A and B are shown apart, each in its own frame.
Chain A
Amino acid sequence: MDIKKNITGDSWELLMAGRVDGPAANQLEVEVLAAIRAGAKAIYVNLANATFLCSAGIRVLLQYHRQMKGKSLVFLVTRPSTEVAATLEMTGFPELVEK
């Protein structure tokens, strides 16, 4: 999966399309770690074009949401597709989504 990046100052947007399966979750983690190393203060994972989100993907989102929040930084999902929103609701993680 190609993960596109929009970087504005210290705010990073990572855009994922298609199936966010195990390998895509690993790729996301690599990109998130790169953003953190580069000093990102806010990371937004845009899932508007994601067709599904597996539990490995949720684990990456949860782990870095907690880590960033613990440092008073921002890590959120933006514009989840209907499918992704349903999965986050089903697993009890709607707070991971930007309001």
Chain B
Amino acid sequence: MTHQLDLILLNRESEIARGQDQLEQFAAAHHIPDRKLHEVQVALEEHLTNILHYGYEDHGDHEISIGFGLADDELRLQVQDDGRAFNPLAHPTPDLSLQLEQRPVGGLGIHMIRKSVDGVEYRRVDGKNILMMIKRI
């Protein structure tokens, strides 16, 4: 059986919290363990933040479609936006072995997405970015 929740967010900072609230409610309704929820929340937060900060060349309103799907002990979180083409999988992993004083502060969000979920898939379709983040529950 598949459980699905779809929602539309606008490209505003306050909307990220609304998406997180919806994810928490979905997780509670389907008994997703807190630790797994937390990891998915990290991935969602970082991806939405990247879209808002780097995705758009204008200052207009844009819709971001989000789908939470739960089936066969796997949570699939799909995020679709119409911002500039951006494949987070194409970005290098930060060097975590550097001393604290030498560590760059950029690139952390994408690293956190990759480490927080079990699979990430990216497609660019009809001018839209589609990122699927998969978490085994």
Which residues of A are interface residues toward B (Cβ below 8 A)?
A: 19, 21-23, 51-52, 54-56, 58-59, 62-63, 65-66, 82-83, 86-87, 90-93, 95-96
Contact = CB atoms under 8 A, between A and B. Distances in A.
A52 B108 contact: no
B42 interface: yes
Contacts of B124: none
B123 interface: no
Contacts of A55: 46, 49, 108-109, 112
Interface of B: 13-14, 16-17, 20, 35, 38, 41-42, 45-46, 49, 94, 96-97, 100-101, 103, 105, 108-109, 111-112, 115-116
Nearest to B112: A55
B13 A19 contact: no
The 7 closest A-B pairs by CB, nearest first: A92-B96, A55-B108, A55-B109, A83-B38, A59-B105, A54-B45, A90-B115
A65 B108 contact: no
A52 B45 contact: yes
Nearest to A69: B101
Contacts of A91: 96, 108, 111-112
A91 B112 CA distance: 7
B68 to A, nearest CB: 17
Contact of B16 (A22, A52, A58): A22
A38 to B, nearest CB: 25
Contacts of B109: 54-55
Given A55-B109, A93-B103, 20 more contacts: A21-B17, A51-B38, A52-B42, A54-B45, A54-B46, A54-B109, A55-B46, A56-B49, A58-B105, A59-B105, A59-B108, A62-B100, A65-B100, A82-B35, A83-B38, A87-B42, A91-B96, A91-B108, A92-B97, A95-B100
Nearest to B114: A90
Contacts of B103: 62, 92-93
Nearest to B115: A90
B100 A66 contact: yes
